[in-house]
Every structure is written in structure tokens, then in C-alpha cells.
Structure 1
Amino acid sequence: MVPPLVLDIDGTMTRPDDSVDPRFFDVLPQWDAPVVIATGKSFPYPVSLCHFMHIEQNVIAENGGVVLSGEQVTTNGDGEAARRVAEEYVAAGHDIGWGQTDLTNRWRETEIAVARDQPLGPLEELAAEHGLEVVDTGFAYHVKSPRIEKGLGLKSLAPLLDRTPEEFAAVGDSENDVSTFGVAGESYAVANADAKAQRAADVVLEESYSEGTLSVLEDLRERA
């Protein structure tokens, strides 16, 4: 049998132009084990992706801040401290970086994401004052509680699927995937992954982005 999967989105299921590789729309609905989408994006994004892929909505969003399996939603943290950091960051003369509509944070519940072209140092200082941390996912700076991680999300979600975290094969590309790699039974970093993810993974792939992830899925299917 193929193993259950926990897959990051950005840099992992996407192509270099940030679009989701359409081949996943054929591969994942045919996967004979649970598939979990684990991302730093806010909750509606992975839920919508699952919906349009026509796979069960097993989701770890906001780096573990919101977890969904079936009808059960678990929210870890309230996001108030992160929002205070954002307010103080703006008051200090900086910008969150997403424009007036800020669709990146509009539906975010447990953290705040800041564009990577904004100053990191002041953000880290403010986050530390509120007992938070800043995680660089390669796509944004995420202000979040240190106790909330994707790996913790997988630990809470796996039993809802009658699985253990050790049964999962994980694929990712960033430091926010390190905790997932630490609890999954198998872990793969695509070639474009950052240094922290590559050090944490069991295997660093030769292929980048979606090409790397699809190659892993093919290998896992052949091995089953």
C-alpha cells in the first residue's frame, strides 16, 4: 500500500512560476491513502485546493495554527499577539507589504504574514517582545507562536485519520516543514528547498519544485 502523504504547497506542489502543477489534479485523487495539505497559507487556500482537486479536506494551515479533518476544525492560538506585532510594526513606520486589501492576511486566524521585501530585524524584535517568533518560509515572514508548528498539526490530525504520524511520507521545501519532517516516517526535500529543510529531510531530491514531488510520488507508488 502507498503511504499517507503530507504535502506542502508553495515550492513543493507549485512550478517555478508559483502555479500549482496541474498533474496533481490527476495524481492525488487516485492516491489510495489519506493526503494532507500542510501550508503556511491561511485556511481557505488549502481547503479550496482540496475542494477543486476533489480530495478529502485534510488540512494543516497557518503552519499548524488551523487543522481540519472531515468536519472537525481545531484552532491553535488566537492570533491576537501576532496582530499586535503587526500594528506596532506599522506604527514604527514599516509596512506589512501586501497593499490595502491584504488578501494574504484577510482570513488568517492565528498568525500574521509579512512580505519578504520588508525589514526583518525590527519584525523579529517586536515578535520577541510578545513571545513570538518569525519564520521565513521563502514566500513570507510569518509571525507566530513558537509552539505552533506543522509537525504539531500532523500529530493532532493523524489520529483523526486512524493513522500515526510515522506512517506519513512528507515533502516540503522550507524551514516551516522541518517540524513535519521530524515527526513523519519519511521526509523529502525538493532540490529548491532551503538549507534548514535540506538538513532535516531524510532525502534531498535531485528535482526541484513540483517535479521533485511528483517523482517522489511515482517512486512511492512503484515501491508499494
Structure 2
Amino acid sequence: MTDSACPPLVLDIDGTLTRPDHGIDPRVFDPIREWPAPVVIATGKAFPYPIALCQFIGIDQCVIAENGGVAYVDDQILFHVGGEDDGPGRSAAFDAVDAFVESGGVLGWGESDLVNRWRETEVAVQLDADEELLRGLADEYDVEVIDTGYAFHVKDATISKGQMLERVATVLDYETHEFVAVGDSENDVSTFEIVGESYATANADAAAKAAADVVLDDEHATGTLSVLDELRRR
């Protein structure tokens, strides 16, 4: 495959661009920086984290954050559409988490809570939290809880990475089937369902593996790098 034929990419962060110890694997920097087509960083992390990652890698800031709740592309901030207005749709998820805390639940991130400090559309809760209580209140407030393997994310059920990728792709003047995606969690399933090729790293959860076109032999960033190498060789 020539550089001009390289497909646009959708890359998750945790479990996909990271090492087993959760830190970013520096080996991904050059291949992503040198990729000749758009690269969308799609994550469950709060908005500032993927923006900063793009800046430090040295690529265009094109991100989907908060599992599709908010995105940035071509100097536009896009929020999940929760009604007539295009803006943060945070109330139900935040109300559910408020009720969780009032009922004795603990988010688990400490007093400063840098995990949620900048979130606008969802809330993340540590995996050792009271899952039964959390899911029960989510049902009561008509929101969902997804387990990414790194946190429970409480969000509107209509928010997804795939739904937001459709909008980002339109701005970039691509069709979603032109993208290749790599991920490792159930929050990547909606992306896998609409892209042309999807790859789950070997450390991926059962939902991601079931949805992916290919389950890689290698884990974490090593698996992702193998996909990029293969695509460049075509």
C-alpha cells in the first residue's frame, strides 16, 4: 500500500496504545506521527487527555472523548446530540452518580478526582466500586454503565464512539467504512461495527473480540503496531 492509499485510523488509548502497566508505549509515537491519512484518537478519557496526547505526538488534534460524548475535529467541538441543541448531555448520568454517592457509593479517585474533573457528558467510577448499586441507580435514571476494563463509565445509552465517528468522518470528508480501527474494550464495539476493518488486541475483552474482524496475537501497543506495519506493507 502506498502512502496515498493508507486508510484513516481510529485508535483507542488504554489497552491499545499503552503498555501492560497502562503507560503510553513510546513506540507508537513515530508511526502515528508519520501516518499519511487522518488519525482519530477515540477514548473513554476526558476531553483534555486525548487533546494533549495529539499535541505531544505532534499530529492534528482529531479526537473522540468520553466514549463519544464529545469530539474535536477541524477546529470544531462536537457534542453528542441529546435534543434540539448540540451541547453537553450530562444531566442524567451526573444525577445517577450523585444518587450513587448519596447512597454511600464511592467514585474512588480521591478528593481531587482528576479522572472526572473535566468530564462534560459522563462520569467514570473505579472498578472496585459497588457495581450492583451503581447499575441499579443507572437503570433508575435511564442511563447505562459500561465496563472498559479500566473504569465503569456512566453515560447516556445513545452516546457511543461509533455514533460520534460518523460525524467526525463527515467533517474529514471520509466514509466510516474507509477507516481501520484498533481497540480493546466493549466501548470500541460501536466503532468496529461501522468501519471497514477492525482489530482487537490480544488483551481485549470478550465483547471487543467478538465484534472485531481480527483478534491480534499481540497485546496492547505491540498489537496495534503490528496492524500499522501490515497496512503500510499492502
TM-score interval w.r.t. the shorter chain?
over 0.9
Please give the residue correspondences for 1:1-224 in structure 2 after superposition, counting only pairs within 5 Å: 1-76=5-80, 77-223=88-234
Moved over 4 A (4+): none
Q: CA deviation at 1:18?
A: 0.6
What residue identity is the alignment partner of 1:124? Answer: R
Structure 1 gaps, min length 5: none
Code of the aligned partner of 2:90: G
1:86 Cα deviation (Å)? 1.3
- What's the offset of the Cα at 1:94? 1.3
Amino acid at match of 1:206: D
Report the Cα distance in structure 1 between the residues aligned to 2:120 and 2:79, rounded to whole angstroms: 8
Percent identity between the two aligned chains: 57
SS of aligned partner of 1:135: strand
**TM-score scaled by structure 1?**
0.98
Deviation at 1:78, TM superposition (A): 2.1
Shift of 1:80: 1.4
SS in structure 1 opposite 2:193? Answer: helix
1:135-169 CA-partner distances (Å, limit 9, x unpaired): 00000000001100000011010011111110000
CA distance in 1 between counterparts of 2:219 and 2:158 reads 30
How many residues are treated as equivalent by the alignment?
A: 223
The one-letter amino acid of 1:199's match is A
Q: SS state of the match for residue 22, structure 2?
A: coil
TM-score normalised by length of structure 2: 0.94
- Summarize deviations over 1:5-38 as a string: whole Å, max 9, x none: 0000000000001111111211111101000000
How far did residue 215 of structure 1 move?
0.4
Separation in 2 of the partners of 1:134 and 1:94? Answer: 15
Q: CA RMSD in A?
A: 0.7
Q: In structure 2, list runs of 5 or more residues that go unmatched.
A: 81-87
Distance 1:83 1:132 in 2: 10
